[in-house]
Structure 1
Amino acid sequence: MALFTTNYKDLNDRDSLIPEGIYECIIDATGPDVTPGGTEYIKVNLRIRKDLDKALPDTNGKQHNRIVFVNIWKRKKTGKYDPSDLNFIMKAAGYPENTPVEDWDDWANNLVGKPVKVKVDIDESEYQGKTIKRNQVWASSFRATDFPLQGSKANADPFKEKGDTTEISDSDLPF
């Protein structure tokens, strides 16, 4: 019996751009990065939610589980990130206002796994005489989700102490 059978009919569809529109996504990964030329930026990888196929059949339903990349660049004049870019993302993900961000690990820990709504555009640019098309998501398009995650809280730690300090003695254990 074969493990699986090859099927190439849908391969061209996956190489295409995500159509323009409003998508419900999950922040899949985020953190600082640097280009080969040394330019620093923050990458945010968004995965189009696959749990909303019926609720959003024309967007999420057709593009679920695909990833769109967002890059937040440092401003050339200041050498710093624009605080409004970072705040749009944090507000959309439900980061409480006036919460300090300690470091990039803190940033990622508080954003990864959070649902957000974004507008995906198609951007055209010229590079070495060729027109390049790519998906673009601007930080200012981030909004709070219309579909909060159901069940356990995103990124909840099931082993985190909840105030119950019940002690179990060895005699209570069956082994």
Structure 2
Amino acid sequence: MANDFMNTNYSNNTSSSYDPLPTGTYEMIINKAQESATKNGAETLQIDLLVRNDLDKVPGLANTNGKYHNRHVFMDNWKRKATNQYDLDGFQYILQAAGVPENTAIPTVEDFMKAITGTPVKVYVKAEQDTYKGETRLVNRVAPWNFEASQYKQVQHTYKDSKPQGAPTQPQQPQTAGAGPFANTGDSIDISDDDLPF
């Protein structure tokens, strides 16, 4: 008699819902930051925020981190058409929340991305209606001024994919390699200039 290939066991299955997070304040990790561009040449610095999974037992986070850990929220920071520059004032809020010391020189956008990647932050995430090409849907929005310093500086988050490149060395569970949401696929974002918020 042959051995069974497997037995069904659904206890470890998790929801793969991609609905936007409910409006609220979440303890997150800046999982990754990367520059990207639309086919029309509009440039953005995208920040991938990841809801921490090491705070599930914190009573005050039961309805945020406890329910939505490991979920991603993506934040775009578009270069302004008039100046072809990012809103550096907005970046100050993110740097402060990430714990970068006052008067730290940040010579390049790459240095900015390295300085914030892997850091814990507290973020207010808003769920709001967005209409694109006649279709209205619910999306998450995060403004730079909605970043604050994390109340939980010791990070014990267990990554499902790979640890962010350039992330600070902290006690972590073993990682497995993965492509992650910003894998370089060679694809560009398809957004017309009329759809940009500036």
> TM bucket by the smaller chain?
0.7 to 0.9
Runs of 5+ in structure 2 lacking a partner?
Answer: 157-166, 171-198
Counterpart of 1:83, as a letter, is: L
Aligned pairs (5 A) from 1:6-155: 7=10, 11=15, 14-55=17-58, 56-149=61-154, 155=168
Larger deviation, residues 60-69 vs 93-102: 93-102
- Which protein has the larger Cα radius of gyration, Structure 1 or Structure 2? 1
1:152-171 matches, within 5 Å, as 155-156=168-169
Asked if structure 2 preserves the Cα contact closer than 8 Å seen for 1:31 and 1:107, the reply is: no
Q: Residues 122 and 148 of structure 2 are in contact (CA less than 8 Å); yes or no, is this contact kept in structure 1?
A: yes
Sequence identity (%): 37
Unpaired stretches in structure 1, ≥5 consecutive residues? 158-175
CA distance in 1, matches of 2:108, 2:24: 32
The alpha-carbon distance between structure 1 residues 126 and 50, as it changes in their structure 2 partners (threshold 3 A), is: same
Is the 1:18–1:135 contact (alpha carbons within 8 Å) kept by the matching residues of 2?
A: yes
Deviations 1:11-48 (A, max 9, x none): 4x613211110000001000221122211011100100
Q: CA RMSD in A?
A: 2.4
Deviation string 1:26-73 (CA, Å, 9 cap, x unpaired) is: 010002211222110111001000011111111000000111001111
**SS of the counterpart of 1:14?**
coil
Cα 1:3/1:95, change in 2 over 3 Å: farther
**What is the TM-score of this pair, normalised by structure 1?**
0.78
Residue 120 of structure 2 contacts residue 155 of structure 2 at CA under 8 Å; is this kept in 1?
no
Residue 141 of structure 1 deviates from its aligned partner by 0.3
Q: CA deviation at 1:3?
A: 5.8
By how many angstroms is 1:133 displaced?
Answer: 1.7
Displacement of 1:80 in angstroms is 1.2
CA distance in 2: counterparts of 1:70 and 1:101, whole angstroms = 21
SS across alignment from 2:115 = helix
The separation in 2 between residues aligned to 1:108 and 1:95, in whole angstroms, is 12
TM-superposed CA distance for 1:93, in Å, is 0.1
